[in-house]
Amino acid sequence: MHKPTLSWTLSFFCALACCQGTCLHAAAPPAKPNIVVIFADDLGWGDLGCYGHPKFKTPNLDRIAAEGVRLTNFYSTCPYCAPSRASLLTGRYQFRSGVTRNPTPDAGINDVGVPASEITLGEAFHAAGYRTICIGKWHLGHKPEFYPTRHGFDEYLGILYSNDMRPVQLIDGEKVAEYPLVQATLTKRYTERALDFIRRQKDRPFFLYFPQAMPHKPLAASEAFYKKSGAGLYGDALAELDWSVGQILATLKELGLDERTLVFFTSDNGPWYGGSTGGLRGMKGNCWEGGIRVPLLARWPGKIPPGHVSHEIAMMPDLYATALAVAGIPLPNDRVLDGKNILPLLTSNAPSPHEAIFSMQAMRLNAIRSGPWKLHLQPPPKPRIWKPEERWIDPRGPDGVTILAPYEQAHPSEYPGVLTGDETKAFSLFDLATDPSEQHDVAGKHPEVVARLKAFYERMNEQVGALAR
């Protein structure tokens, strides 16, 4: 016989009491969780202590992994900035929104930006009654119609593009707040604004989108961190980024928001010089693993078990679907969404919801990952090998006080990834389960795998082609 559950029994008696006019108050709906997305710029898969870096110290980020979950096969959809951000904030491969290139004011690329037709995470959370803020690098367009404040964010503080693009100026809301910009204190000031924002949210849930400037070049750190890490300027900038994360965690705890807040940490793409891919081939700017595989950490006490690790495949647009799902906000149903809710991966040993995922550059699909297999769809560019004796500094020179330490910036000889391996052509296949560094092209041994992944590619490429026309 079916036994009534405790909750069913309580509901029944509560309903009965209400009918009799004795119920003093209806049960309050559960509080909606706050969502924090901390998004580093050009931070490599191997840059954090919890991903095995031997020298960089990241105790606060390691704590997120220890108290939450760490994913080892999480991918950006692009090995550079803007398209990765577009996929995060729209839940879709970037070819669907048209943000396939980096808006670049000093190269005259001014018309690329997130279109009004997209529903960004900012807009979705804002419409659901959340207070929303974006702090840091937007890079989804720098013309007014593309501003974060026009895409669902109540507040914005940051640089609208990369911190090496001119003019490097700090925008507050829609106004220039500082030019020339002191980059050394940028992480500190971004953090102060984030803490101020969190403290101001008493009565409603919030979405804090925090795309940090570091460790994108030019690297910078405030006085408290400069030359303190013992691991160069890159290590200093990373230590300050880690401090910033610690400040946010401490403030959430102090305000009693720990169990009501889901915190994500990831990076837009692989590392530039001076960072580490953790033994993966390539770097930012190509679709070897080092360019696209990035850390993903998440912490939500009471929901995500401590110390969980998932090796399942997931990608940047999944954060869109996951963040909206945990907030109980319906996904838009009038468009293709590529992201999936990966909460089951964060909380259990569930399998990946993806049979295959893609990475792309401009309007070209470059690589596909499915299970252990990685099929390159285009030949990656040949890396230029720099020798240590080849002096190199940013040839553009300082803009105001933009580059504080031009001779301490990471040198191109400090290549962050693995340089060896078979020549990679279109339709080179690698078995990442046995060959994570993509050294041996096994396409000739597994023609059936190549054919299966090519079929995925051709189907997706039809959608890319339809939008490219």
- Name which of 73 and 267 has its Cβ closer to Mg ion: 267
Question: CB count, 10 Å around CB of 442?
Answer: 16
Report how far residue 123's alpha carbon sits from residue 288's, in angstroms, rounded to the nearest whole number: 33
Smallest gap from Cβ 284 to Mg ion, in A, equals 7
Binding of Mg ion by 76 (CB under 5 A):
no
H or E element in which residue 13 lies? helix 6-19
Site residues (CB under 5 A) for Mg ion, limited to 168-197: none
> What track of x and - describes contact with Mg ion for positions 194 through 233 (by CB under 5 A)?
----------------------------------------
Q: Which region among 36-44, 106-114, 222-230, 459-467 touches Mg ion (by CB under 5 A)?
A: 36-44
* Residue 41 vs 242, nearer CB to Mg ion: 41
What is the Cα–Cα distance from 65 to 349, expressed in whole angstroms? 16
Task: Provide, rounded to whole angstroms, the least separation between the CB of residue 399 and Mg ion.
Answer: 19
Spatial distance between the Cα atoms of 323 and 339, rounded to a whole number of angstroms: 11
Contact at 8 Å (CB) between 36 and 319? no
- Gap between the Cα atoms of 301 and 67, Å rounded: 7
Q: Which stretch binds Mg ion (CB under 5 A): 35-43, 66-74, 96-104, 129-137?
A: 35-43
Which single residue is written with the structure tokens 């110290």?
A: 57
Residue 288 or 430: the one with the smaller Cβ distance to Mg ion is 288
User: Are 55 and 238 within 8 A, CB to CB?
Assistant: no
Contact with Mg ion (CB under 5 A): which of 38, 39, 42, 432? 42
Query: Who's near 342: CB < 8 A, 6+ residues apart?
Result: 314, 318, 319, 321, 322, 353
| Residues recorded for the chain | 469
Question: Any contact of residue 269 with Mg ion (CB under 5 A)?
Answer: yes
Q: Annotated catalytic sites, by residue?
A: 81, 139
Q: How many residues belong to the site for Mg ion (CB under 5 A)?
A: 5
Based on the shown chain and the rule CB under 5 A, indicate whether residue 81 belongs to the binding site for Mg ion: yes
314 vs 72: CA distance, rounded Å: 9
CB 36 within 8 A of CB 208: yes
77 in contact with Mg ion (CB under 5 A): no
Q: Write down the least CB distance from residue 63 to Mg ion, Å.
A: 24
Contact indicator for 182, 150 with CB cutoff of 8 Å: no
Q: Which is nearer to Mg ion, 41 or 236 (CB)?
A: 41
Closest to Mg ion by CB, 213 or 429: 213
Contact 270, 30 (CB under 8 A): no
Nearest to 292 by CA among 100, 438, 75: 75
Stretch that binds Mg ion, among 33-41, 46-54, 115-123, 201-209 (CB under 5 A): 33-41
Q: Which of 33, 38, 39, 41 binds Mg ion (CB under 5 A)?
A: 41
Q: Which residue has the tokens 């400069």?
A: 226
Closest approach, Cβ 316 to Mg ion, in A, equals: 12
The Cα–Cα gap between 270 and 287 comes to 9
Burial class (CB in 10 A: 0-12, 13-18, 19+), 38: buried
**Closer of 83 and 232 to Mg ion (Cβ):** 83
Residue whose token pair is 């995470």: 121
Q: Tell me: does residue 268 bind Mg ion (CB under 5 A).
A: yes
As measured in angstroms, the least distance from the Cβ of 333 to Mg ion is: 31
Q: Which helix (H) or strand (E) holds 106?
A: none
Residue range at the interface with Mg ion (CB under 5 A); choices 74-82, 114-122, 319-327, 385-393: 74-82
Instruction: Please state the closest distance from residue 135 (CB atom) to Mg ion, in A.
Output: 16
| Closest by Cα among 333, 336, 419 to 380 | 419
Least distance (Å) between residue 242 CB and Mg ion: 18
**Range in contact with Mg ion (rule: CB under 5 A) among 16-24, 73-81, 164-172, 294-302:** 73-81
Of 32-40, 114-122, 269-277, 403-411, the segment contacting Mg ion by CB under 5 A is: 269-277
Q: Is 64 helix (H, G, I), strand (E, B) or coil?
A: helix
Q: Compare residues 237 and 252 and give the one whose CB is closer to Mg ion.
A: 237
Binders of Mg ion in range 382-441 (CB under 5 A): none
In the bound complex, what is the minimum distance in angstroms from residue 220's beta carbon to Mg ion? 15
Q: Which residue is nearest to Mg ion (CB)?
A: 81
Task: Give contact residues for Mg ion (rule: CB under 5 A).
Answer: 41-42, 81, 268-269
